[in-house]
Structure 1
Amino acid sequence: MIMDTRPEPFEPPAPVPRTHIPSRLEIIRTVLRNPLELWGEPSYTLPWIETKFMNQRNLIVNDPGLIRYILVENASNYEMSKVRRLILRPILRDGLLTAEGEVWKRSRKAMAPVFTPRHAKGFAGQMLTVSEHFGERYQRAASEPFVTNIATDMTELTFEILTETLFSSEIAVEKEGFAANVEELLQRMGRVDPMDLLVAPPWVPRLTRIGGRKVLDRFRGVVAATMAERRRRMAAEPDKVPNDFLTLLLQLEGPEGLSTSEIEDNILTFIGAGHETTARALAWCLYCIANMPAYRETMEKEIDTVLATGAEPIEWLERMPHVLAAFEEALRLYPPAPSINRAAIEADEWTSPEGERVPIRKGISVLIMPWTLHRHVLYWQKPRAFMPERFLPENRDKINRFQYLPFGAGPRICIGATFALQEAVIALAVLMHRFRFDLTEATHPWPVQRLTTQPKGGLPMKVLLRAK
């Protein structure tokens, strides 16, 4: 564990662990309101717990060794849980996040070349250009300090980076207002419905999501129009078509590759959710460092020094360790995907290094929750505190690979992890080089779980030009 010499490190807002066993009604109300508020002290203090709810047994897993066993060593015995499928599949269908079996294998294999670390680094120049253009908008507004919703702004920025890098800015949607559409989609479609808790079949109506169908249909219309326009270009002017993610997917369309519906689902996954996780972490990061002026100044000096050398953006990820550490600490405290849900296909058993046996029943729901794991007292010093130094190069080897899971692990690890880290460092460097982000009287964010960990009501912050 890494010791913190500050007497009172900043503890950003988060639900306090429950100290009593909730009733069934209280559990349902809490899950519908905000699942992050459900977890009690055992989830933050014990390596694993077996519970029962609505006749469904659950194994809550925090031990890094057991996590490794489930996600890596015996991953073939664990599928996405029924509840998770009931929430996600209506939105993403057979996209990479929700596909199973052969469909997932085909999709993952098809997309892997785009997201290799070497290929991802090739996007650095585009990420820089988009971030600078975004900064120009702030520049025009910042003759005087102004207040803006950072959560919305970061969604717009990461969407613009996504469209430029993976779709060559040829998505059939107006950028203006797109962040609001994403917000509406996640609020309406990304929440748990009572019928999900009862594991009711998909055909049973989910009343909490009825209003989200129009938004989802709007997104699917965007995908269909985007695919149609690119197909037209591929047929009419094949030599001028961008060699990007969209073209790659459409080139794989056919009996031996991906079906038309699978391509549509994956495009929707990246347009609707592929940028959202990075956006949320960027907003939380800017909020946290605004509460730590000394560390923010360290970041600013590091950014200014690297930029003064003329270093190419492809080098920034390695040359800005304090910037990267702040972003990774934000990912720890506010993991964009706060839960990983699996179910045991067959009965299983794991034995700890100390010889303790953990039986895993057939069909049991296995909950690996970055939200509780990243705040667990067994694995982190001052787990609720924002301490970016945990992730500086000299301290990284003290963190077990399976106690920190912002991108998951195993075969289904996030395909865009390198892309996201590079994008975040470049965006933070560009923005923090020009501007300083400060708190306002209205800056009181509260984390809520939808598909991602979102600040309830947005995240207002004051933006002002940095004095140079």
Structure 2
Amino acid sequence: MTQSHAPFVPPAPVPRTTPPSRFEIIRTVMRNPLELWGEPSFRLDWLKTRFFNERTLIVNHPGLIRHILVDNAKNYEMAVIRQLVLRPILRDGLLTAEGESWKRSRKAMAPVFTPRHARGFARQMLEQSLAFTGRYEQAADNAEVRDISVDMTELTFDILSATLFSGQVAGSEEEFAGDIERLLSTMGRVDPLDLLKAPSWLPRVRGMLGKPILAKFRGIVEQTMANRQQLMRTDPDNVPEDFLTLLIRLHGPDGLTLGEIEDNIITFIGAGHETTARALGWTLYCLANSPSDRQKVEAEIDEVLVREPDPVKWLDAMPWTRAAFEEAMRLYPPAPSINRAAITDDEWHNGEGETVTIEAGTTVLVMPWTLHRHTKLWDRPAAFIPSRFLPENRQSIDRYQYLPFGAGPRICIGATFALQEAVIALGVLLSRYRFDCTKKTRPWPMQKLTTQPGGGLPMRVSRR
């Protein structure tokens, strides 16, 4: 894993060296929570602190992470502040549901997202990626500058719509990217009342601003469900056997309620495609600033596309392409925080004589943002070095030091789907076009629901 030149170090907030005041905490969390974290969070295995007089444990040790998210996961529920932010949007979708509702939804959707089933979506992913490149034909001839962050949102929406909903989502993708941005800029961010754990019935200003957009989203979902139910009644022989049909068929006393079905469709249309879109945008940005890595990825893609037309095999056949995507997710994790709260007192022993005591009610933060940049876990953690994720180097990465999809019972159900989607999309895009930065390409990582590029990603698209 050697580098013959200085690797690209993409932009990120400099860790704080002095604790922020209470006012600074509120202001920073409202503006960009990624700017809140101090130097100890990137250096220590764990750190106990108080956040608004609430006991908080920041965890970076892979063994302790495994204990909390896997071995003793039953003792850790979703943290209150996380639910205050996300539940108004997703309600009982898979990301926010708990208890029996979560168990029913997870069990119902698991068959759709097995690796074998995900491979069945590869051809549609390829077709949608190829169709999407049509909008770059004129741009490439004129080396046109486009906002790649918006483009990737539209591409992943096209793929999600085609694979899980057979292209039958009501509404248009032209409006979709802007609506997602507005929704996450309002309801998808922490409100000062959330920090104070004020009751959910107290109105949040940003939540009020986002309600019309959320209502529009839910209207789209209701119409999508109604259209499919009508087709199931009137023309059952021509009903697509997709994710939407599966969910609707699970409606009943022993299955999902109509509300749960709507919530899960909202979850997958919104959060499900947003995470992959952001990671794709960051990948193209990092490769544009790392010419030697981009050259390796382009050469690999060119070679594979000549000998292997079947996109099902691309994920394994393109290790450099996958590594670049995974390294971008390390530096800019789509979900930068995992929040839990201890239900009862707990202890963990590190095997070296140290014990971590976690009192009931303690908020536990497993932060991929700090974990993925931790100085004890990564060589040159701030640098873009895709080779660390090549097959021959992966054994040095602990399972619980890299969490782009989480871990444990609540690990992202669509992880295989997303990895395959990303490699296929990158394979198509980078086989035809080159994406370069301009003087205006100055993204700044900002935490909303995902790690987004503040200022967008204006990039020059040209034909290779």
TM-based fold match above 0.5: yes
99, 104, 120: which one pairs with 1:101? 99
Tell me, in whole angstroms, the C-alpha distance in 1 between the residues paired with 2:138 and 2:231: 36
User: What displacement does 1:353 show?
Assistant: 1.7
Segments of 5+ residues of structure 2 without an aligned counterpart are none
- Whether 2:109 is the aligned partner of 1:111: answer yes
399, 404, 407: which one pairs with 1:406? 404
Tell me, in whole angstroms, the C-alpha distance in 2 between the residues paired with 1:49 and 1:92: 31
Moved over 2 A (4+): 3-7
204, 229, 232: which one pairs with 1:231? 229
11, 20, 23: which one pairs with 1:22? 20
Residue aligning to 2:281: 283
Letter in 1 for 2:229: R
User: What displacement does 1:151 show?
Assistant: 0.2
- Whether 2:173 is the aligned partner of 1:175: answer yes
User: Is the 2:139–2:462 Cα contact (8 Å) retained in structure 1?
Assistant: no
1:351-362 paired onto structure 2 within 5 Å: 351-362=349-360
1:44-443 paired onto structure 2 within 5 Å: 44-443=42-441
User: What displacement does 1:311 show?
Assistant: 3.0
Letter in 1 for 2:349: T
**What secondary structure, in the 3-state scheme, does the structure 1 residue paired with 2:25 have?**
helix
Residues 444-464 of structure 1, C-alpha deviations (whole Å, 9 max, x = no match): 000000000000121100000
**What secondary structure, in the 3-state scheme, does the structure 1 residue paired with 2:352 have?**
coil
Letter in 1 for 2:217: F
User: What displacement does 1:174 show?
Assistant: 1.2
**What secondary structure, in the 3-state scheme, does the structure 1 residue paired with 2:9 have?**
coil
Length-normalised TM-score, structure 2 = 0.99
Letter in 2 for 1:422: Q
**What secondary structure, in the 3-state scheme, does the structure 1 residue paired with 2:341 have?**
strand
Tell me, in whole angstroms, the C-alpha distance in 2 between the residues paired with 1:311 and 1:132: 13
User: Is the 2:442–2:455 Cα contact (8 Å) retained in structure 1?
Assistant: no
Letter in 2 for 1:228: A
Tell me, in whole angstroms, the C-alpha distance in 2 between the residues paired with 1:245 and 1:193: 34
User: Is the 2:139–2:461 Cα contact (8 Å) retained in structure 1?
Assistant: no
User: What displacement does 1:339 show?
Assistant: 0.1
Residue aligning to 2:442: 444
User: What displacement does 1:261 show?
Assistant: 0.3
User: What displacement does 1:7 show?
Assistant: 4.3
Letter in 2 for 1:371: W
User: What displacement does 1:345 show?
Assistant: 0.4
Length-normalised TM-score, structure 1 = 0.98
Tell me, in whole angstroms, the C-alpha distance in 1 between the residues paired with 2:76 and 2:51: 20
**What secondary structure, in the 3-state scheme, does the structure 1 residue paired with 2:378 have?**
coil
Tell me, in whole angstroms, the C-alpha distance in 1 between the residues paired with 2:39 and 2:343: 29
**What secondary structure, in the 3-state scheme, does the structure 2 residue paired with 1:52 have?**
strand
Residues 411-441 of structure 1, C-alpha deviations (whole Å, 9 max, x = no match): 0000000000000000001000000000101
Residues 259-309 of structure 1, C-alpha deviations (whole Å, 9 max, x = no match): 000000000001111100000000000000000111101111100001111
Letter in 1 for 2:330: R
Tell me, in whole angstroms, the C-alpha distance in 2 between the residues paired with 1:140 and 1:45: 48
User: What displacement does 1:143 show?
Assistant: 1.5
Greater mean deviation of Cα atoms: 203-212 or 117-126: 203-212
User: Is the 2:118–2:417 Cα contact (8 Å) retained in structure 1?
Assistant: yes
**What secondary structure, in the 3-state scheme, does the structure 1 residue paired with 2:173 have?**
coil
Identity of aligned residues (%): 66
Tell me, in whole angstroms, the C-alpha distance in 2 between the residues paired with 1:283 and 1:183: 14
Residues 99-146 of structure 1, C-alpha deviations (whole Å, 9 max, x = no match): 001100000000000000000011000000000000111113322100
Residues 31-85 of structure 1, C-alpha deviations (whole Å, 9 max, x = no match): 1110000000000000000100212110000000000000000000000000001
Tell me, in whole angstroms, the C-alpha distance in 1 between the residues paired with 2:55 and 2:277: 34
User: What displacement does 1:158 show?
Assistant: 0.2
**What secondary structure, in the 3-state scheme, does the structure 2 residue paired with 1:142 have?**
helix
User: What displacement does 1:9 show?
Assistant: 1.1
Tell me, in whole angstroms, the C-alpha distance in 2 between the residues paired with 1:353 and 1:312: 47
Tell me, in whole angstroms, the C-alpha distance in 2 between the residues paired with 1:39 and 1:422: 32
Tell me, in whole angstroms, the C-alpha distance in 1 between the residues paired with 2:353 and 2:263: 44
**What secondary structure, in the 3-state scheme, does the structure 1 residue paired with 2:270 have?**
helix
User: Is the 1:4–1:387 Cα contact (8 Å) retained in structure 2?
Assistant: no
User: Is the 1:106–1:258 Cα contact (8 Å) retained in structure 2?
Assistant: yes
Tell me, in whole angstroms, the C-alpha distance in 1 between the residues paired with 2:165 and 2:326: 27
Tell me, in whole angstroms, the C-alpha distance in 2 between the residues paired with 1:418 and 1:355: 38
Letter in 2 for 1:433: S
1:36-47 paired onto structure 2 within 5 Å: 36-47=34-45
User: What displacement does 1:8 show?
Assistant: 1.8
Residues 314-366 of structure 1, C-alpha deviations (whole Å, 9 max, x = no match): 00000000000000000000000000000000000000021210000100000
Letter in 2 for 1:424: A
**What secondary structure, in the 3-state scheme, does the structure 1 residue paired with 2:357 have?**
strand
User: What displacement does 1:25 show?
Assistant: 0.7
Letter in 2 for 1:84: R
